[in-house]
Amino acid sequence: MDNRKNGGEKREVWLIFHKEKLLLAENPDGVFTLPAWDSIAPLAPDLSGKKDLKLSGPDTYWLVSIPQEPVLPDGMRFVSLSRLFADGHKQLYKIAGRAVQILAWDRTHRYCGQCGSKTEERSNEFAKVCPECGFTSYPRISPSIIVAVIKGKELFLARSTHFQKYNFHTLISGFVEPGESLEECLRREVKEEAGITVKNIRYFGSQPWPFPNSLMLAFTAEHDCGEIVLDDEELYEAGWFAVDRLPPLPDSDSIARRLIDWFIENY
């Protein structure tokens, strides 16, 4: 997987992507690893567009996107971020998540959004500068909230109309709109989607969510008033659930599941 320089002090790691999927080696047990460089090199002959992922540490992570999917040798495949996340490959998922966001930014900011001129990339940071008007663009991060709403000893859980194929309940979430604070966004999303108001909002934690470029900010809150009235464009099933009768839940590595586990431990 690596080329070593300076007496083995530095390792070069290559991440080869095709359509936001990462090229990985898969062993007979279904465990994914980054493949060795000598097996990758013939598949990505044009490295002129390589990018340094700018990760801290002694190693250099090179990022390359290839337009055509090559014929792969046995034991290698392109894997989506959702598969890495679901299978619990935390470190690979974290690195790949950063990489696909940089790829998306690079692909969508080749020209200035203000005057249309071709942009130039800075070498010391992820930034694209327009040589004509000076406008600078950075990788976009879209903040969103997710909240565990508690009523007595019950948790609000729902199924989204957008993900009906997944057989689990989860928490209310939504994107922050211009001019909103995180708390204002949370109150609006809960009111719009569930018809209830909340109080005692507390910060819980955060999680990068590169689908494609979100940062999930998690909170807990208490039910204040109102009965459940669902926005049928967002939710098609919901209710209050006690610990002893929880429905199927999302994956354990998600911030949603961490919130739900917190509820289970405390209620």
Give the residue, 202 or 67, on which the prediction is more confident: 202
What domain count does the chain have?
Answer: 3
Enclosing domain of residue 247: 142-266
Domain boundary among the residues 83, 107, 131 is at 107
Regarding whether 215 and 156 lie in a shared domain, the answer is yes
Regarding whether 159 and 73 lie in a shared domain, the answer is no
Residue 258 has pLDDT above 80, yes or no: yes
Let me know: does 115 contact 188? Beta carbons within 8 Å.
no
Report the percent of the chain where pLDDT is more than 90: 67
Domain boundary among the residues 139, 156, 188 is at 139
Q: Say what the pTM is.
A: 0.86
Residue carrying structure tokens 């997987």:
1
Question: Which residues, other chains included, contact 68 with Cβ-Cβ below 8 Å and sequence gap of 6+?
Answer: 18
Regarding whether 217 and 157 lie in a shared domain, the answer is yes
Regarding whether 94 and 133 lie in a shared domain, the answer is no
Regarding whether 18 and 39 lie in a shared domain, the answer is yes
Regarding whether 128 and 180 lie in a shared domain, the answer is no
Tokens for 156, please give them: 């609000």
Regarding whether 96 and 116 lie in a shared domain, the answer is no
Regarding whether 187 and 132 lie in a shared domain, the answer is no
Residue 5 has pLDDT above 70, yes or no: no
Residue 189 has pLDDT above 90, yes or no: yes
Regarding whether 192 and 77 lie in a shared domain, the answer is no
Q: What single letter denotes the amino acid at residue 183?
A: E
> For residue 211, what pLDDT band results from cuts at 50, 70 and 90?
confident
Residue 132 has pLDDT above 50, yes or no: yes
| 3-class SS of residue 43 | helix
Q: Are strands 214-225 and 142-151 parallel, antiparallel or unpaired?
A: parallel
Domain CATH number, residue 151: 3.90.79.10
Give the residue, 188 or 163, on which the prediction is more confident: 188
Regarding whether 113 and 103 lie in a shared domain, the answer is no
Task: Say how far apart CA 112 and CA 131 lie, in whole Å.
Answer: 9
Residue 237 has pLDDT above 60, yes or no: yes
Residue 217 has pLDDT above 90, yes or no: yes
Average pLDDT over all residues of the chain: 91
**15-19, 127-131, 163-167: which range is least confident on average?**
163-167
Count of residues for the chain?
267
Regarding whether 173 and 81 lie in a shared domain, the answer is no
Domain CATH number, residue 74: 3.90.79
Residue 152 has pLDDT above 70, yes or no: yes
Question: Which residues, other chains included, contact 164 with Cβ-Cβ below 8 Å and sequence gap of 6+?
Answer: 236
pLDDT at 79: 94
Tokens for 128, please give them: 């694209």
Regarding whether 253 and 156 lie in a shared domain, the answer is yes
Mean pLDDT of 78-87: 90
> For residue 9, what pLDDT band results from cuts at 50, 70 and 90?
low
> For residue 105, what pLDDT band results from cuts at 50, 70 and 90?
very high
Mean pLDDT of 164-187: 93
On the question of a cis peptide bond just before residue 58, with omega within 30 degrees of 0, the verdict is no
Residue 187 has pLDDT above 50, yes or no: yes
